[in-house]
Amino acid sequence: MSREWSLRCSSQFRLWDDLADRPYDRVHHAERVLVRHAGTDTPFLALLVALSLPIAGLLLAFDDGPWRVAAYGGLALALATIYAVTRGDGARAGRNRLVLLKYPAFVLLPLAHPGAPRALVLAAVAYAAVSLYDRLTAEPKVSSPARAKSVAPHAGMFERVACYACGSGDTRPLVTAEEDLTGKPGRFTFVTCANCGLAYQSPRLKIEHIGAYYDDEYIAHRKKSDFGPLTPLYEWTMDKHDRDKAAIVRRFVSLGPQSEVMDVGCAAGTFLAKMRNLTGARTTGVDFKDLSAAPWMKDVDFRLGLFYEQAFGAKRFDLITMWHFLEHDYDPPRTLATARELLGAEGRLVIEVPRFDSVTWKLYRERWPGLQAPQHTVLFDRDALQSMVHAAGLEIVEYLPYGAFPAYFYVFAGAAFKILKGRGLDLDRAILPYFLGQLLLLPVLAFERRLNLAMQTVVCRRAVVRPL
């Protein structure tokens, strides 16, 4: 009987939905519309009534449980009301959220005990999954003039590069990626060094052209912070990111008002503001995009430009951090060597990057968020990261198979990129499914530090040069 119920519910509710969405789908999703007679569409409510009456009679004839018949009738009435009272595009978004309740109904109605925890969990998973798909595949909206006007980069904007680690020019193709996060056009090639195995982007955009990909659509530079009822949760999540960074730092270095802290790739300066509030340390930020007007940059010694071109004189730092900076760098060995020279005698360098040899890379491949083409120039697995750090004259104090950045973002974004196939992730639409998915995966995420999902961190100091 459960199988029969599943078939009845699925076929009927799907048919109703198809009939109601027919005019919209003809314009926006022609592939969903079956070929029917030409002429005027039959009014939806008339079809609904015509379908519901015989189905209700069939249910009663089969002597199904009264609660099932009542639930079916109630859902049919709710759908009819929703379709009848909503008109135009403005009401469609809210209506769609309600209409999606038919999917958990497919789970609940066939079960003998709808109050059982198993049934409720399955219904919640069904609703979360279809909500994610519905929101991510909805008709895209252009959120900025920059995205609307963007064109794919031409060949003259690229340059081939030798391996950052060993200098070899002998490579093997690895993967071709797109700008999945914002949907800007272009295809970008990653290769593997045939000599040492380092994975990196080649050809890459010349440095004078990469700035266009760090506009206000870039996730670290987004100015939007109003997400309606979810705003407090969003703000707590963003602050937790900086709290987790601070927790890593405090394990390895003690800071106070006389300490010097520098964040390379500081963006809007939220981490520096957190460290200043927690320790009173003096703060310096470096970035090639000028976000010095951000409120968190108050009292920050901000340096605009490339890190290894900055002049610090005799100044030395107790802490230098690179939170997801090194994979963007155009000369990582030079950056690491510069950081070594700027570290104080007891100073620490903290580097967090995506981990190339991770579960999410194997799962998503060309849609792995860690590719983030064309901004990411280098893909570090554990061995490549440690090798490059050692070559710069740095000693690893500790390797952490996790980071402050939530690995769940890569789990979620990779799934979204697989669905969207280069059309860009609308963060406004994705934020609710993001938090729902995180809630559902909490039992797994509790073991994030042991699962090699996406991130890695190294804590370094100046290598001690011992005389021969």
pLDDT digits (tens, 9 = 90+) for 340-359: 999 999 999 999 999 999 99
Q: Which of 161, 183, 214 is the last residue of a domain?
A: 214
Token output for 362:
């194997």
Token output for 456:
């890695």
User: Which CA distances in Å does 117 have to 65, 338, 433?
Assistant: 20, 57, 22
Query: Rounded to whole angstroms, how far apart are CA atoms 333 and 394?
Result: 11
Asked, for residue 76, whether it belongs to a domain, the answer is yes
237 in the same domain as 208: no
Query: Rounded to whole angstroms, how far apart are CA atoms 27 and 30?
Result: 6
Query: Rounded to whole angstroms, how far apart are CA atoms 405 and 428?
Result: 20
98 in the same domain as 235: no
Asked, for residue 220, whether it belongs to a domain, the answer is no
Reduced to 3 states, what is the DSSP secondary structure of residue 460? Answer: strand
Asked, for residue 203, whether it belongs to a domain, the answer is yes
Of the chain, the end-to-end C-alpha distance in Å amounts to 83
Asked, for residue 291, whether it belongs to a domain, the answer is yes
255 in the same domain as 209: no
413 contacts 131 by C-beta, under 8 angstroms: no
Q: Which stretch of DSSP H or E encloses residue 13? A: helix 2-20
Position 449 scores a pLDDT of: 93
Which range, 32-41, 102-111, 155-164, has the best average confidence (pLDDT)? 155-164
Q: Residue 2: name the closest of 100, 116, 101, 97 by CA.
A: 116
pLDDT in tens, 451-468: 999 999 999 999 976 555
- Half-sphere exposure of 5 toward its Cβ, with a 13 Å CA cutoff? 21
Q: Tally Cβ neighbours within 10 Å of residue 192.
A: 17
300 in the same domain as 254: yes
Q: Which stretch of DSSP H or E encloses residue 219? A: none
Q: Which region, left, alpha or beta, applies to residue 5 given φ > 0 means left and ψ of -120 to 50 means alpha? A: alpha
329 in the same domain as 453: yes
pLDDT in tens, 232-260: 888 899 999 999 999 999 999 999 999 99
Token output for 42:
């039959």
454 in the same domain as 322: yes
**Residue in the structure block whose two tokens are 């951090």:** 321
153 in the same domain as 108: no
285 contacts 300 by C-beta, under 8 angstroms: yes
Q: Tally Cβ neighbours within 10 Å of residue 46.
A: 9
Q: Which region, left, alpha or beta, applies to residue 452 given φ > 0 means left and ψ of -120 to 50 means alpha? A: left
State the DSSP code for 229. G
385 in the same domain as 304: yes
pLDDT of 217 > 90? The answer is no
pLDDT in tens, 425-437: 888 888 888 888 8
Query: Rounded to whole angstroms, how far apart are CA atoms 88 and 36?
Result: 24
Query: Rounded to whole angstroms, how far apart are CA atoms 418 and 139?
Result: 17
Sheet with 343-354: strands ordered across: 300-304, 282-287, 260-264, 317-323, 343-354, 455-462, 394-400
Position 466 scores a pLDDT of: 56
Q: List the alpha helices (DSSP H) in 208-296.
A: 231-250, 270-279
Q: Which of 106, 136, 166 is the last residue of a domain?
A: 136
The total number of structural domains that make up the chain: 3
Distance from CA of residue 438 to its chain's centroid? Answer: 12
Asked, for residue 219, whether it belongs to a domain, the answer is no
Output phi, psi for 321, to 5 deg: -120, 145
367 in the same domain as 449: yes
Position 423 scores a pLDDT of: 85
Is pTM beyond 0.95? Reply is no
Between these two residues, 432 and 335, which has the higher pLDDT value? 335
Mean pLDDT within 46-61? 58
10 in the same domain as 129: yes
Per-residue pLDDT band at 165 (split at 50, 70, 90): very high
Amino acid at the residue 91: A
CATH number of the domain at 393, please: 3.40.50.150
Per-residue pLDDT band at 33 (split at 50, 70, 90): very low
Query: Rounded to whole angstroms, how far apart are CA atoms 141 and 28?
Result: 13
Per-residue pLDDT band at 329 (split at 50, 70, 90): very high
Position 40 scores a pLDDT of: 47
Asked, for residue 223, whether it belongs to a domain, the answer is no
265 in the same domain as 343: yes
Q: 434, exposed or middle or buried, with CB in 10 Å at 0-12, 13-18, 19+?
A: buried
Q: Tally Cβ neighbours within 10 Å of residue 170.
A: 11
448 in the same domain as 312: yes
Structural domain span for residue 197: 146-214
Distance from CA of residue 243 to its chain's centroid? Answer: 19
Reduced to 3 states, what is the DSSP secondary structure of residue 75? Answer: helix
Token output for 83:
């379709």
Asked, for residue 178, whether it belongs to a domain, the answer is yes
pLDDT of 443 > 60? The answer is yes
pLDDT in tens, 256-309: 999 999 999 999 999 999 999 999 999 999 999 998 999 999 999 999 999 999
292 contacts 302 by C-beta, under 8 angstroms: yes
Token output for 103:
């999917």
Asked, for residue 31, whether it belongs to a domain, the answer is yes
Q: Which of 214, 241, 262 is the last residue of a domain?
A: 214
